[in-house]
Chains A and B, each alone.
Chain A
Amino acid sequence: MRRAAFSALISHWRKHPIQLVSLVLGLALATALWSGVQAINTEARASYDRAAGILGQDELQRLEPRAGTIPLSDYIAIRRAGWLVSPVMDGAINLNGSRVRLIGIDPLTTPPQSAPVDLSGDGDLQSFILDGLLFAHPDTAAQIPDTLPAVRATETLTPGVIITDLSTAADLLETDSFARLILAPAQPINLLPLSEVAPNLLLVAPDEGNDIARLTDSFHLNLTAFGLLSFGVGLFIVHAAIGLAFEQRRPLFRTLRALGLRKSTLLTLLATELLSLALIAGMLGVALGYLVAAALLPDVAATLRGLYGAQVSGVLTLNPAWWLSGLAIALLGTAVAGAQSLWRTAQLPILAPAQPRAWAIASLKSLKRQAFVGAGLIVFAALLATYGSGLTIGFVLLGCLLVGAALTLPLFLHLALNLASKFSRTALSDWTLADTRQQVPGLSLALMALLLAMAANIGVGTMVSSFRVTFTGWLDQRLAAQLYVTARDETEAEDLARLLDGQVDAILPIRYIDAQIEGAPGQIYGIIDDVTYRENWPLLAATPDVWDRLAAGDGALINEQLSLREDLAPGDPVTLGAAQFPVLGVYSDYGNPRGEAILSLAQLREQDVAINGLNFALRLPETRIEDVTNLLTNAGLPARNIRDQAAIKAFSLDVFERTFTVTGALNVLTLGVAALALLTSLLTLSTMRLPQLAPVWAMGLTRAKLARLELLRAVILAALTAFIALPVGLALAWVLLAIVNVEAFGWRLPMTLFPGDWIGLFLAALIAAALSAAWPARRLATRPAADLIKVFAHER
């Protein structure tokens, strides 16, 4: 009996392969987008954790300079006072144009918790100390030229990092001072306190969560939100497909029950069927998700590197936790989407009429109730926008806004169609509008999906475009010089300055130190007084005579991130390194996740730390660029040390574009999923709507005409949905720009509107709707007349 019943149940899918495909595809797509995003996040987080764990800074305290580096003599003094500390050199070297972080450690004093590499092999310690053996991730190891010491590839390291002995690091980084000292977890007894032994160093607690993970949190939350959105949209399809399959099998359920199949057995069989479908679709989805993630990961990695300096491997590793969670979310989604249908089947009286109930006809009352909830959510979102703060609140706000808008959509459509029917002149248009209204409940889920996808598209599109406009303008201001030159050492820097004297309009030295800014790592720049800054530097807020006062050493400029993070305005004091300065102005500094400040060069020199001083910006007429470049190359400076403004701009814009590649890709996918949802729903409805269409046909309307009306109906509904998607999308953009970005990146961008993009999207939505409706309409147009006649004879 069970077997017979089961084969009867699944025969439905053989008869309706499209339903089966849309169910599996919908679920697979939803799972794919979700698990793809998760895979990217997991991979990135694993990279951060590895990076954080490399030197045990997630477990161990450390000593850091307030600014600059720690001289060898300080290290020896602390050791000779008995404190068990281990020195770390940390800098960047250039490998064929890409910057790689070079970390030098002392294997003899490194606490076991912070030992980044395994030196227990035969002769390893000896070759580490004597031969300068390097350790790096295989990706990075492959980049290391033969001119450097031998390298050993190690999977446990993050890409873009080289670990080596202090002696080697001292050579390659041309330094003999340290970035930090790591404290062993246990210390000898009766030591003098560190405040006496090392009064000029900061004792820093182990990183909680770690710096990069914190910086990039917002980015990953963004991705997760998108993954969730896509998953939600995918569930609409699944819900529609499952609902249809259950509705169409109601006569079968009744017959099986009448033949003696127990209700519990029937439900078990149906649940098993759903479970199997969910597993198949889930596995397909996870496989697709892997492909999505693998395709997007290089861009994500490039973004994270460009934006946050986070090193993430571009290669995806398969993690059981990840694909199991992908399967789980597929099962969960199926359960959510199928629960209602199963519940209804459980409630089915054995003697219920065989005719399928009309597809979930919702009354106007329930539409109003739904819209009321939606309106409540939108009001709540508005309250959050006014009184809330924080990244999570920002995303809750987004969720409320989107779900609220989606819930009010059916009522809006209903009312809009009501309104339209007031202007209707003919019986046919009356009927068309009334019939469209009749369809709204059946299509509402798909239309909500379309609304969400379009709103997301408009919102994210507006954010990205606003960002691009602002960023490009800002680059023009910030990169006012024509050439940027990097000397290889101090002597060369002095030689170049002499060489360039008189050859260019202005030589602007770019000098900076690494320092603690308001308790977090950042950089302090020192600039000379030059018209370039006065005319071009992008100031957001400033005291009067800001440039004169800066030149006079009256205070500091800080970037917007620092100003927002520490709530600093011009006039407030800011702690830079070991000293305090009044804030003279705030400048925009897009693309930099950290705090930054500018002092006059003279004042930076007073900070008594080694200044990083090998870079120059050169102002000169466009026509002289080639001459000056030749002059520098002839003086022996490698070409890669000379970069013109255009190259830097191109690089920055490239980073920018890559940043939003992922967002764009997910956007398009989401829109695709929404279109698929619409198609499924229309297919579902088309078979059920024969009873509505047959009388109209019988009254003389041709099938072709009916089909055109079907097409028109879908387009009208899509247009109305697009109409409401526009304000929702703009609200979304505003939330992203004014709340989420400020929290996530630390800068606020002006919102710019791009009506041209909206028209494009509007057309895309209409085309998507028309395409979705085309197939059902064509089926109607080519339907045998007998089918329509049958409606009158058939039991329904």
Chain B
Amino acid sequence: MNVSPLALLLWLWATALSAQGFAGLGTDAEGFAIPQQGTELTFPNDHGAHPDYRIEWWYLTAVLEGEDGLDYGVQWTLFRSALQPEAGSGWDAPQLWMGHAGITTPDRHFVAERLARGGIGQAGVVANPFEAWIDDWSMTSTAEAGDQLDALTITARGMEAAYTLDLTAAGPLVFQGDRGYSVKSASGQASYYYSQPFYEVSGELTLPGGTVSVTGNAWLDREWSSQPLAEDQTGWDWFSLHFEDGAKLMGFGLRSASEVFTSATYITSDGTPTPYGDGALTLTPLTLTDVAGRQIPTEWRVQLPAHGIDITTKPTNPQSWMDTLFPYWEGPLRFTGSHTGVGYLEMTGYE
């Protein structure tokens, strides 16, 4: 779930990718805080924003089935990007916000994007009671007890489609990596990263053809950092998978010119995570699809031998193209093989 570093980089330094983009971010955190291994995350505080870190996101994907029997997918993401490591207030707040919303149907893919500056109330995140918002899009806690993220309502709308979903967590929050310290490259770049992969969802999609009631599973990723990637990493392929038996798998491959750095977390149905470092997970592209003028691998073979996982993923809509400031592919999928289930796939950096 990790388009944001590059997206935000491009957003802020629009033409800088080849000239200095990654280098600029990778080599110098300019006073921004750096994730430290061993730090204990505390809630609800860490559900809120961390303005002294350069980038942060609240990233939700929902794999849904409609009352009409069709597969649907929904994405709701709020990115925060700091120009300087301080919250600030009013006009001078050096915090920028970006929202992405997507609705995928078998034959359409709706995208919306919002930008806002911090400090004036147009966008932001409050930890308790939890609310993340940009304009009229929001992710609001409806939890009466327990963790703030145990129950949420999310809503977003674009030019042609809109959605409102109610989410209830059927399991605990899950730390990725080492108790939330997630390594992103062989040279040690890292982020804080936790997830809530156990949401059960019901809600409504407003589509050009009418309103559709949907139910399904959703996955929330929370991640923040100042220096998440290595200089030579060009893009990534990121999976969040819901197995039929209730287990979950998060796995990604970060591509650089010479190699792929992989990482995975297997989560049992009761929420116990097992992290795997580089090499445990194997990702093999199977089918290339012509999407927005690029060749993008929309079907994959995913192997995690430690859990006997060897599956093939198939997208609900191969044209799940997020035509945003920095475009990427993101959409729901079904998988078969050693296991069956549904999930979400994000792919970035395909030129």
Q: CB of A81 within 8 A of chain B?
A: yes
Q: CB of B165 within 8 A of chain A?
A: no
With beta carbons under 8 angstroms apart, the residue of A76, A125, A167 that contacts B14 is: A125
Closest 6 CB pairs of A and B: A82-B136, A167-B91, A108-B115, A188-B157, A76-B121, A79-B135
User: Would you give the shortest CB distance from B252 to chain A, in whole angstroms?
Assistant: 29
Q: Which of B110-160 contact A (CB under 8 A)?
A: 112, 115-117, 120-122, 133, 135-136, 157-160
How far, in angstroms, from A81 to B133 measured CA to CA in the complex?
A: 12
- B91 engages A82 (CB within 8 Å): no
Q: CB of B260 within 8 A of chain A?
A: no
Q: Which residues of A contact B135 (CB under 8 A)?
A: 79-80, 82, 84
With beta carbons under 8 angstroms apart, the residue of A72, A126, A166, A188 that contacts B12 is: A126
How far, in angstroms, from A771 to B207 measured CA to CA in the complex?
A: 86
Q: CB of A190 within 8 A of chain B?
A: yes
Q: CB of B206 within 8 A of chain A?
A: yes
Which of A115-123, A239-247, A561-569 participates in binding chain B? Answer: A115-123
Known: A122-B13, A122-B15. A129 touches B117 (CB 8 A): yes
With beta carbons under 8 angstroms apart, the residue of A80, A167, A190 that contacts B162 is: A190
With beta carbons under 8 angstroms apart, the residue of A106, A119, A121, A186 that contacts B159 is: A186
Q: Which residues of A contact B83 (CB under 8 A)?
A: 126, 129-130
**Which residue from chain B places its CB closest to the CB of A129 in the assembled complex?**
B83
- A82 engages B12 (CB within 8 Å): no
Q: Which residues of B contact A176 (CB under 8 A)?
A: 90-91
Known: A80-B136, A82-B136, A170-B91. A109 touches B115 (CB 8 A): yes
With beta carbons under 8 angstroms apart, the residue of B84, B161, B162 that contacts A130 is: B84
- A120 engages B120 (CB within 8 Å): no
Q: Which residues of A contact B116 (CB under 8 A)?
A: 79, 108-109
- B161 engages A129 (CB within 8 Å): no
- A76 engages B117 (CB within 8 Å): no
The residue in B84, B96, B117 that gathers the most chain A C-beta atoms within 10 A of its C-beta is: B117
**Which residue from chain A places its CB closest to the CB of B123 in the assembled complex?**
A79
Q: CB of B19 within 8 A of chain A?
A: yes
A to B CB contacts below 8 Å, 19 in the list:
A80-B135, A80-B136, A82-B136, A106-B117, A121-B15, A122-B13, A122-B16, A125-B12, A125-B14, A126-B13, A126-B83, A129-B117, A166-B117, A176-B91, A186-B159, A189-B157, A189-B160, A189-B162, A190-B162
How far, in angstroms, from A80 to B117 measured CA to CA in the complex?
A: 14
Q: Which of B7-30 contact A (CB under 8 A)?
A: 12-16, 19-20
Known: A189-B160, A189-B206, A190-B162. A120 touches B91 (CB 8 A): no
How far, in angstroms, from A180 to B157 measured CA to CA in the complex?
A: 25
Q: How large is the interface on A (under 10, 10 to 19, 20 to 34, 35 or more residues)?
A: 20 to 34
With beta carbons under 8 angstroms apart, the residue of B15, B19, B120, B136 that contacts A72 is: B120
Q: CB of B203 within 8 A of chain A?
A: no
Instruction: Identify 10 new A-B residue pairs, CB closer than 8 A, beyond the known A79-B135, A126-B83.
Output: A79-B116, A80-B122, A81-B136, A108-B115, A125-B14, A129-B117, A130-B84, A130-B94, A188-B158, A189-B206
Q: Which of A724-781 contact B (CB under 8 A)?
A: none
Q: Which residues of A contact B19 (CB under 8 A)?
A: 122
User: Would you give the shortest CB distance from B163 to chain A, in whole angstroms?
Assistant: 11
Q: Which residues of A contact B90 (CB under 8 A)?
A: 170, 176
- B157 engages A82 (CB within 8 Å): yes
User: Would you give the shortest CB distance from B224 to chain A, in whole angstroms?
Assistant: 20
Q: Which residues of B contact A80 (CB under 8 A)?
A: 122, 133, 135-136
Q: Which residues of B contact A190 (CB under 8 A)?
A: 157, 162, 206
Q: CB of A187 within 8 A of chain B?
A: yes
How far, in angstroms, from A552 to B143 measured CA to CA in the complex?
A: 59
Q: CB of B290 within 8 A of chain A?
A: no
- A79 engages B92 (CB within 8 Å): no
How far, in angstroms, from A365 to B96 measured CA to CA in the complex?
A: 85
Q: Which residues of B contact A170 (CB under 8 A)?
A: 90-91
User: Would you give the shortest CB distance from B345 to chain A, in whole angstroms?
Assistant: 26
User: Would you give the shortest CB distance from A246 to chain B, in whole angstroms?
Assistant: 66
How far, in angstroms, from A310 to B136 measured CA to CA in the complex?
A: 39
Q: Which of A137-176 contact B (CB under 8 A)?
A: 166-167, 170-171, 176
How far, in angstroms, from A777 to B303 measured CA to CA in the complex?
A: 112
Q: Which residues of A contact B112 (CB under 8 A)?
A: 188
Q: Which residues of B contact A171 (CB under 8 A)?
A: 91
User: Would you give the shortest CB distance from A160 to chain B, in whole angstroms?
Assistant: 24
Q: Which residues of A contact B136 (CB under 8 A)?
A: 79-82, 188
Known: A176-B91, A189-B160. A123 touches B13 (CB 8 A): yes
Q: Which residues of B contact A187 (CB under 8 A)?
A: 159
Q: Mark A63-98, 1 if CB is under 8 A from B, else 0.
A: 000000000100010011110100000000000000
**Which residue from chain A places its CB closest to the CB of B20 in the assembled complex?**
A122
Q: Mark B203-224, 1 if CB is under 8 A from A, else 0.
A: 0001000000000000000000
How far, in angstroms, from A170 to B116 measured CA to CA in the complex?
A: 17
User: Would you give the shortest CB distance from A525 to chain B, in whole angstroms?
Assistant: 30
How far, in angstroms, from A176 to B89 measured CA to CA in the complex?
A: 13
- A76 engages B122 (CB within 8 Å): yes
How far, in angstroms, from A80 to B136 measured CA to CA in the complex?
A: 4
- B117 engages A108 (CB within 8 Å): yes
Q: Which residues of B contact A122 (CB under 8 A)?
A: 13, 15-16, 19-20
How far, in angstroms, from A129 to B117 measured CA to CA in the complex?
A: 10
How far, in angstroms, from A170 to B90 measured CA to CA in the complex?
A: 10
How far, in angstroms, from A186 to B117 measured CA to CA in the complex?
A: 21
Q: Which residues of A contact B96 (CB under 8 A)?
A: 108, 129
The residue in A72, A79, A121 that gathers the most chain B C-beta atoms within 10 A of its C-beta is: A79
- B14 engages A120 (CB within 8 Å): yes
With beta carbons under 8 angstroms apart, the residue of B15, B121, B133, B159 that contacts A188 is: B159
Q: Which residues of A contact B117 (CB under 8 A)?
A: 106, 108, 129, 166
How far, in angstroms, from A125 to B9 measured CA to CA in the complex?
A: 12
Q: Which residues of A contact B14 (CB under 8 A)?
A: 119-120, 125
Known: A79-B136, A106-B117, A188-B112. A129 touches B94 (CB 8 A): yes
How far, in angstroms, from A498 to B162 measured CA to CA in the complex?
A: 59
How far, in angstroms, from A188 to B84 measured CA to CA in the complex?
A: 32
Known: A123-B13, A170-B91, A176-B91. A79 touches B206 (CB 8 A): no
How far, in angstroms, from A80 to B137 measured CA to CA in the complex?
A: 8
Q: Which residues of A contact B120 (CB under 8 A)?
A: 72, 76
How far, in angstroms, from A72 to B162 measured CA to CA in the complex?
A: 27
Q: Which residues of A contact B121 (CB under 8 A)?
A: 72, 76
